[in-house]
Structure 1
Amino acid sequence: MTDWSGYLNLILQGAMVTVQLTVMGAALALVLAFVAGLGRLSRFGAIRCLATAYIEFFRGTSGFVQLFFAYFVLPLAGVALSPLQAGVLVLGLNVGAYAAEVVRGAVQSIGREQHEACNALNLGRWQSMRHVILPQALLIMLPTFGNLAIELLKGTSVVSMISIFDMTFQANIVRSQTGNTLMPFTTILVIYFMLALIISWGVRTLERRLARGLDGVRV
C-alpha cells in the first residue's frame, strides 16, 4: 500500500469484522438474555440457580480475562476455538448476563392486573408470557438493550488482543507501518460513532413500532 486510500481500505475491512462480531455477539446475547432472565423467574429451583450462577459469574469477572480463558485455556481441555469464535462467545456470554437482568426486571414490572386478566381468560403460564407479558415487557427492555448493544460494539475492540483483524487491530497495523497515530485512530473513532448511531436509530424505530401495536396486546 502506497497511499492513504490503501490504509483506509484496510481499516474498512476491519470495520466489517467489527460489524460481524457485533451482530453475532448480539444475537447470542439476546438468546442468552431471555433464557437466563426467564430462568431466574422459573418455578424450579435448579433452573433459577443455574441462571443466577451464569449471570453472577459473567457480571462479576473481567471480560478481558474471559476472552483469554476462552482462547488460551479452553484448548487445554480439548475445546479449541478460532479467534472469531472465542470473541463472539465471550461477547455474547458477557453482555447476555447483563441483558438477562433487564429481561427479569421488565417481566416483573408488568402490573399484577395483567397476570390476573390472563388467569381470568384461562391462559396458561406460557400462553400468558408469550402473548401478553413479553410483548409489553419488550417495550421496557428495548432502551437498555440498545445501550448494551452499543457497549458490545465498543467491547469488540478487546478481541484485537487475540489477533482478530477488527478495526482496532487494523488501526494499530496502520500506525506501525506509517508512524501516524492521528489518522487511523481518528478514523476508527468516527466509524465507531457512526455504527453506534445506527444502533440507536434502529432501536428507537423498533420502539416506536412496538408502542403503536401495544394497545392491542394489553388485556
Structure 2
Amino acid sequence: MSAQLQGIGMTSRRTRMRLVQRLRESGIESDRVLEIIGEVPRHIFLDEALAHRAYEDTSLPIGYGQTLSQPYIVARMTEVLHHHGPARILELGTGSGYQTAVLSRLFEEVYSVERIKPLQDRARDRLRQLGARNVLLKHADGGMGWPDRGPFDGIIVTAAPGDVPKELLAQLADNGVLIAPVGEEKQVLVEVVRRGEHFERRELEPVNFVPLLGGVIR
C-alpha cells in the first residue's frame, strides 16, 4: 500500500463515522448495516487519485464506464436485503468489490458476477486483502445470473436493466428477495419477493445507475 493510502487509512476511521452519521440522517435505520459501512475501508476500492473522496456520499468512477455506488445506495440496498434475513446472496456487478465486501460481512455466502475482467481482478485482490473468505467470484454476463449456484435467498443487481430479467427471477428461492434499479431514462429501485410462482413487486425510490449490459469483456 502506498504512503498516500496509508495516510488516508489512518484518518479514515473518523471520516467513516461522519459518513455513517450522514447515512443515518438520510434514513438508513439498520444499526448492523451502518456498523459495517463504518468498518469497511472504502478508500481501498478506488484509485489513489480519488481515494481522498472515498467518504463523500457520492458515486465515483472506477474505470471502464463503471462507478463505485454512492454509500447511501449501498446501505439502502443492503438494508432491504438484510430485512429479509437471507443467507445466500447473488450480486450482479462486482465492480470495485466494495458492495461485495459489505455483503460478505453480513451474509453467509456471497456469489458475485462481473463482466469486465480487469475490474474483477482488482476486486479479487481487494477482497483478499480484507480476508473475505465467503465470496465466490465469476467472470460472466451478469444478466444471466449464476444458475448452477442457485437458487439464492437474495439477489442484488448493481446496474440497471430495462426490467428485471426473467432469468434472475427464476433463480430466486421461495420467499427470496431481489433488489435492483430498473429503467432506462428514468430508473427506480425495486424490491421483488418470490411467493411460490408469484412475485410481489414494490417500488422504493428513484435512482441513477449505469446500465446493465450483455456480453463479456475478456
Say yes or no: TM over 0.5.
Answer: no
Report TM bin, short chain.
under 0.3
Higher-Rg member (1/2): 1
Q: TM-score, normalised by structure 2?
A: 0.22
Q: Which has the higher contact order (CA 8 A, sep 6+)?
A: 1
In terms of fraction of residues, the more helix-rich structure is 1
In terms of fraction of residues, the more strand-rich structure is 2
Q: TM-score, normalised by structure 1?
A: 0.22
